[in-house]
Amino acid sequence: MMGLFSVAKQPIVILFDSGASHTSISRSFVVEHHLPIETMEDSLCVQSPGRRLVTKEVVYQIPLELVGHTFPTNLIVLKGQDIDVILGMNWLYQWGAIIDSLHRAI
């Protein structure tokens, strides 16, 4: 499921991806909106279709606004990610979110 939502009070495209293990944000969005980047101790390698992305960057407690609720979220920063935000299984599990057969996030 994909839609237009709000992150850090900015409208962006979010993909709810049950095939992704981690939650990530595009580096271009982070830089454009001056979100505070922090460095993780260890590198993280993310396999995406056709390529591997390696990062040590993360943004912490960024507010995601969905259906009238705010979810403070840690996001891995990925250079070259085309979609603004990808919410992976870690986020879906943490918040008990379910993507139903009608393609609506609940």
Q: Look up the domain containing 52 and give its range.
A: 2-95
Total-model pTM: 0.86
CA–CA separation, 89 and 76 (whole Å): 13
> Would residue 106 count as lying in a domain?
no
User: Does residue 102 carry a pLDDT above 80?
Assistant: no
Round the average pLDDT of the chain to a whole number and report it.
87
Give the CATH number, domain containing residue 91: 2.40.70.10
Q: Tell me what pLDDT residue 20 has.
A: 87
Q: Tell me what pLDDT residue 9 has.
A: 87
User: Does residue 69 carry a pLDDT above 60?
Assistant: yes
Q: Tell me what pLDDT residue 54 has.
A: 82
Number of domains in the chain: 1
